[in-house]
Amino acid sequence: MSTSATPSVLFVCVHNAGRSQMGAAFLTRLGGDHVQVRSAGSAPADSVNPAVVEAMREVGIDISAETPKILTVEAVQSSDVVITMGCGDACPYFPGKRYLDWQLDDPAGQGVAAVRPIRDEIERRIRRLLAELGIEASA
């Protein structure tokens, strides 16, 4: 972890249009000001998956204004925890960072019904991550 009192977490998937957006949104909601949150993709899409936006709206989180972002070396370097979600070897590795690889189904091309279980699993993992970081979930 960095010397900062606020840990920084980066979520990475290929398109930054589904899983990483959900992870970032849940961590932002549940971690509040106690954690810095970023998300990025190795090959960002043009927009966030509409089924993901709808699935998150169902749980009271609006990510409709989010846009996929390109993964940069700087984003990885400035993060304490890097959570990969299917980006393979595209994510740069730096010693001293904590890396977690979350194997989750890809919501690309799926409807809302298929996205819901992915969303719910991401929320469970975010709650566990907060507990590991010693941060009490705010919602």
Kindly tell me the burial class for residue 118, based on how many C-beta atoms sit within 10 Å of its own C-beta (0-12, 13-18, 19 or more). buried
CA separation for the pair 135, 36 (Å, rounded): 12
- DSSP for 13-69, please give it: ESSSSSHHHHHHHHHHHHHGGGSEEEEEESS--SS--HHHHHHHHHTT---TT----
Place of tokens 């972890």: 1
Catalytic (active-site) positions: 13, 87, 91
Of 91, 73, 77, nearest to 2 (Cα)?
Answer: 77
CA distances (Å), origin 135, targets 27, 43, 87:
11, 31, 27
